[in-house]
Structure 1
């Protein structure tokens, strides 16, 4: 990678924030509230989610410093485990990421269509709007990392601005404050759950909202001074995200009310409408749609690098590693991932339907990738004391992170066992594909590290 295409600290930090803050905070608060039996469960889930994200950030910061390579998320698996596990988990992660991108774009289109209340918007109409956004940012990414990172910076500033507006709504008079109604009804079918069960299910939506930062290790040596800027970018980004999420949830809780949140989808629109009127809510939705596209752009930047890494390891054909000689864009991989997103977009029904499946697949990736820190610490002892980032409180931090995602995965399996079964089958299916494909190619000599 040429020096003029390197990411500086600010650009890398904006990528971290962009990977995490997608549409989630503008939608999953309602889902998390619906699954919480009382406000204490709801806020515990969001605080716990932030703490788990911080533990994960510490873990991935060290992984990225010890193994700073392009496509790091795949190569860490391949280096630490058997290549079949790397292939299978990364394939399901790619599917999960494409599904997440499509769902987020679809929900973003739900906000923009609120500007035209008289029109009868169908799911196909919203899918077409989302498809247009994906194609647009596909074109931006074809121009190179520097151009796409500039677009990312602008979009993230817009999106952070929208979050700040939601927070400032706390200090403006609004139509009604529904907090007084918080403690009464629980008509969502969760009243029979225990506090811990409710917390586990509420954490599913919270995990989706906090997830994404682990993909930053895909950029590896494309970051200026990776040993220094990878951990700094993750720390700064996660700190920004935690503060913003907690304040936004306080705004939802205070202005909409806990029980009323359960039935809302475009919950941010309701906050704006109660605070600034219908016209203010429309203006907010317009800018929010473009800010949310930062998530689309960030995933289009990161996931082709996984395909590139898999191609270098000979688990995908060599053309997945081809780069444009002028701007180092992984053109074929980018095209394949964008096409995957568009295909999933027209098959995905709603955000809620794909949420559990996406998070269950993510649980595999989170636990397996964070566990590589134990292997990397042993194999890269020679890097200790050379200026790389090394977390404190090891192994407590990665163990907390892994335990949290095991808890979420078990909660999904208990709530929707069919989803868990399909997830296991997908994982085993990709492992089978790997072993079948290895019989039809020559063995590759493993590179020494």
Structure 2
């Protein structure tokens, strides 16, 4: 270990707003404008935006309801059919809903600790992978960046929204008609977020309240059906011998768990907007757990409501329209048709919440400086919103809605997206332990929140399970029961995307610099809207030594005058 590695020192600028800590890794400490504790991160990370150009519009209720709006989307209205099919029995399907809740509860604990280290950085996984794996330099940020852009589409909500809207209109729509409505709904969502952050958040809040009211209404309806006071015959039939037909096929069970976790997707939504929340760790600790627990209880009760009103065999055949079948059986054909507007509005609200969060994630990827044209990704002009990321999300969603055939392609794309997600979440969770170790060696203080290690271990094990089990073939066949062709196609495609990330990294950081005779260096830029971003530049090999001498560890230019802008202070 070099002398520079072994000694610890701190460098403060004249304003005292930024300081560097040199240990085995170089750290920079900065405070954001959201009232959080200081963010101390490796110098290779994107800089803290002391004044967030997106503003601080995410309060307590918005933080709560943005999670609810993302949690309650199409999942509870569309996935019960697939989960019941994959598990084989009513009893096991209900247990799976509980397992999904417990897994995601451990996930919130992991996210909270990671957020507490970097409370003025939005983007969640973007930041946590960047900080957990500083070596090889840029590898994991680049991999997540490529994956994040390629899989940034929001497919399922648009398709399900279209299906329910056509059901309301009592129209038998073609596949292309459904795709057209799905694209129109995504266009409306993206346009709303582009025009105004405040109004998009207000609509998300209203959507969250509507969704909770809807689930409560469906729960009460289910209890009324179970009481026998409706026209539904034998409402308790599905609960007799409830484990009959339980599926023992590992592949199907893993697909069922994927579907459950998909239905709970959004439990960590607010972590993507951390730097827009005042006192974020305290607020998100309360709201994230409250949202997940409340929704999980309602999910379980709504599933019981479905099972009270719809025979299990019919639920398995209902595909993405389980809720419509429930409304029809309880309220009759016309009323059930009209009530199908509820899942459609829920899907729209989910799209609004998820696209809002994903736009922040993509923007944070851009702030790392690892994608071409960083200003496109980072700028908030002209409306104070992340226009570039929203445009990419819209384009990728339109492409994914238009290109694949309808039907089983829906399930394939869900499975495809889940595999890289599980891969990066497993890396992120393992990275939590690496960050703890790195910070302990650097003598950095503890933060506001620390997860129990066994809780993080459970979440990590769940993600590893989701990486391993899709490779186990279905019993007696190599054809997926979910999407109708080779069972490992989604996993292989997911691995291919991860491999593509590695190819991009090697090309960008190794091959092209060697051929071009330059080194990659990171600097910091500030745009006219106040946005701050890392900016990767090419420094000719002959100029590297001089460039390093004139820039601090984070890449900011050092004043060349006689009075230095930094001074060194020994840490005790």
TM value normalised by structure 1: 0.90
Q: Which whole-Å CA distance do the structure 1 matches of 2:192 and 2:248 have between them? A: 48
Compared with structure 1, are the counterparts of its residues 91 and 179 closer, same or farther at alpha carbon in structure 2 (3 Å cutoff)?
farther
Pairing 1:309–2:386 present: no
Which is bigger in relative contact order (C-alpha 8 A, separation at least 6)?
1
Equivalence for 2:40: none
Over the residues paired in the alignment, what is the CA RMSD in angstroms? 2.6
Q: Distance in 2 between matches of 1:404 and 1:9?
A: 30
Cα deviations by residue, 1:407-434 (Å, 9 ceiling, x for unpaired): 2232222242222122111101111112
Q: Which runs of 5+ in 2 are unaligned?
A: 1-51, 225-229, 474-486, 514-518, 523-552, 556-572
Cα distance in 1 between the residues matched to 2:265 and 2:241: 32
SS in 2 for 1:5: coil
Native 8 Å contact 2:103 2:459 kept in 1 = yes
Change (3 A) 1:186 1:113: farther
Could you say which residue in structure 2 is the equivalent of 1:54? 105
Give the corresponding residue for 1:137.
189
Distance 1:309 1:144, change over 3 A: same
CA shift for structure 1 position 186: 11
Aligned counterpart in structure 1 of residue 176 of structure 2, from 119, 124, 134: 124
Note the C-alpha offset of 1:335: 1.0
Distance 1:174 1:372, change over 3 A: farther
* Counterpart mapping for 1:30-429 below 5 A: 30-68=81-119, 69-81=121-133, 82=136, 83-98=138-153, 101-117=154-170, 119-172=171-224, 173-177=230-234, 179-180=236-237, 193-194=247-248, 198-265=252-319, 266-317=321-372, 318-325=374-381, 327-348=383-404, 349-350=406-407, 351-380=410-439, 384=445, 388-391=448-451, 394-415=452-473, 416-429=487-500
1: distance between equivalents of 2:280 and 2:90? Answer: 41
Q: For the Cα contact (< 8 Å) 2:125–2:428, is it kept in 1?
A: yes
SS in 2 for 1:334: helix
Distance 2:213 2:242 in 1: 34
Match of 2:268, SS?
A: helix
Pick the structure with more strand per residue: 2
For each residue in 1:11-44, what CA deviation from the matched residue of structure 2 results, as whole angstroms up to 9, or x when unmatched?
0111112222220110100000001132232122
1:88–1:434 CA contact under 8 A, matched in 2: yes
Structure 1: 5+ residue stretches without partners = none
Give the number of equivalent residue pairs: 439
Question: In 1, distance between residues paired with 2:54 and 2:467?
Answer: 41
Report if aligned partners of 1:70, 1:219 keep a CA contact under 8 Å in 2.
yes
Alignment check: 8 A CA contact 1:41 1:195 kept: no
More helix as a share of residues: 1
Contact kept, 8 Å, 2:77 with 2:343, in 1: the verdict is no
Distance 1:271 1:174, change over 3 A: farther
| Aligned counterparts of 1:298 and 1:239: Cα–Cα separation in 2 | 19
CA drift of 1:8 comes to 0.5
SS at match of 1:444: strand
Aligned residues of 2:367 and 2:378 also touching (Cα < 8 A): no
**TM-score after normalising by structure 2:** 0.71
Q: In 2, distance between residues paired with 1:228 and 1:40? A: 37
Give the deviation of 1:306 after TM superposition: 2.2
- Cα distance, 1:301 vs structure 2: 0.9
| C-alpha contact 1:304 1:333 (8 A) present in aligned 2 | yes
For residue 241 of structure 1, report the CA deviation from its aligned partner: 1.8
Is the alpha carbon distance of 1:116 and 1:390 closer, same or farther for their aligned partners in structure 2, counting shifts above 3 Å? same
After TM superposition, give the deviation of residue 215 of structure 1 in Å: 4.2
- Partner Cα separation in structure 1 for residue 428 and residue 437 of structure 2: 15
Residues 18 and 294 of structure 1 are in contact (CA less than 8 Å); yes or no, is this contact kept in structure 2? yes
Distance between the aligned counterparts of 1:23 and 1:377, measured in 2? 37
Cα gap change, 1:42/1:280 in structure 2, threshold over 3 Å: closer, same or farther?
same
Instruction: Return closer, same or farther for 1:314/1:97 CA change in 2, 3 Å cut-off.
Output: closer
Q: Which runs of 4+ in 1 moved over 4 A?
A: 181-187, 195-198, 380-386, 439-442
